[in-house]
Amino acid sequence: MTIIVTDGLTKTYGGGVNALADLTVAVDAGVIGLVGANGAGKSTFIKIMLGLVPPSGGTVRVFDLDPVTETDQVRARVGYMPENDCLPGDVSASEFVTHLGRMSGLPKTAARERASEALRHVGLYEERYRQIGGYSTGMKQRVKLAQALVHDPDLLLLDEPTNGLDPAGRDAMLALIHRIGNEFGISVVVCSHLLGEVERICDSLIAIEGGRLLRADRISSMTEASDILAVEVSDGTDDLAAALTGMGLQVTRDGRMLLVPMESDSSYDRILRAVADLDLNLHRLDQRRHRVAELFTKKETADV
């Protein structure tokens, strides 16, 4: 099922800043990573989907609803977790999440029940009556997630959910998001500038840079097998490279590995023969898989 469709989506802020430029993408349900460096337009994209800022051009549809004209219906089905700290310190998590549940239109008792449930799911059941001011950063992030979850949305928009977390907290948060996407049946858009962590939990990935779409695809197709063979030998790499070049193969060197384009199945045999002729110890000969990071390294080096 396709949940988000944009066509030529453009957002220009006053002063001519292009936050989004001609973004056309169709997103399927599941856990979706929205990756890009700071200022790439991730937050603007989220705000447009929530109907907080109108697009300057193009269209966007969330659950086949227009966020500009059908704002209420969209927001009722979407939960938003902002990037920044947004919690008052002097109320309990239970009270705060209940209040925001009511602000999403839940009746009083339902809001209280759902708040307890949401806090239980994010792992704060025991501590829910304590004041938020005394919580750790990790616990606060969980409260933020709980308030996005309280009204049972069909889509969660999480803006940098792992911000400020230590490695253990980061893993726990990612596991939680993975669980929400796969067990709760709620689609999740995870914004991040850290490709590595998003890659672990996402079904598909949208990469944007400078407001433009870099690539949008399923993770599986991004990591599919390539037509490159990786060869690694204990030593004598140079000799092997020379031998393979002599056989008319295009060899590129990558650290201790040699990368050889696979022209046909016989490439395996030819490489093996070359290795045997040189009497080298073969450590590895396999078909290389793309890593997601490769898709960005050419253009985006700073944050990935």
Partner 1 sequence: MSEAGVIHDIGYQRYRGPRLGRLALQQALYVQGLRAAFGLGRSAKAKIFPWLVAGIMLLVAVILAAIRSQTGQVIFTYMQFADQMSLLIIFFVAIVAPQLVSRDLRSNTLPLYFSRPLRAADYVLAKYAAMTTSMWLLLGVPQFIMFLGAAFTTKDGFRGVWNELGDLVPGLGYSLLWALMFAGIGLLVASFTGKQAFAAGGIVAVFMMTTPIFGVFMSLPSTTANSLAGLTSPMFLIAGVGQWLGGGADAEWDLGRFGPIYGIEAFCLIVSCVLLLLARYRKVASL
Residues of this chain that bind partner 1 (CB under 8 A): 47, 50, 52-53, 71-72, 75-76, 78, 80, 82, 84-91, 95, 99-100, 102-108, 110, 114, 117, 121, 131, 147, 151-152, 180, 183-185
Which are the contacts of 78, defined by CB distance < 8 A and separation ≥ 6?
49, 50, 62, 153, 154, 155, 156, 157
Nearest distance, CB of residue 27 and partner 1, angstroms:
19
Q: Report the 10 Å Cβ neighbour count for 201.
A: 21
Q: In whole angstroms, how close is the CB of 166 to partner 1 at the nearest point? A: 23
User: Alpha carbon of 70 to those of 142, 150, 284, 288: distances in Å?
Assistant: 29, 21, 57, 47
Q: Given its phi and psi angles, is residue 57 left (phi above 0), alpha (psi -120 to 50 degrees) or beta?
A: beta
Q: Nearer Cβ to partner 1, position 72 or 254?
A: 72
Q: How far is the CB of 83 from partner 1 (least distance, A)?
A: 9
In the numeric block, which tokens belong to residue 102?
Answer: 């009511």
Q: Which is nearer to partner 1, 78 or 205 (CB)?
A: 78
Residue 111 or residue 295: which is nearer to partner 1 going by CB? 111
Least separation in angstroms between residue 23's CB and partner 1 is 19
Q: How far is the CB of 164 from partner 1 (least distance, A)?
A: 14
User: For partner 1, which is the closer residue by CB, 159 or 300?
Assistant: 159
Q: Which is nearer to partner 1, 78 or 244 (CB)?
A: 78
By beta-carbon proximity to partner 1, the closer residue of 95 and 294 is 95
Residue 98 CB, shortest distance to partner 1, in Å, is 10
Report the distance separating Cα 118 and Cα 20, nearest Å: 33
Q: Which residue number, 74 or 231, has a Cβ lying nearer to partner 1?
A: 74
Closest contact distance (angstroms) between CB of 155 and partner 1 is 12
Residue 274 burial (CB < 10 Å; 0-12/13-18/19+)? buried
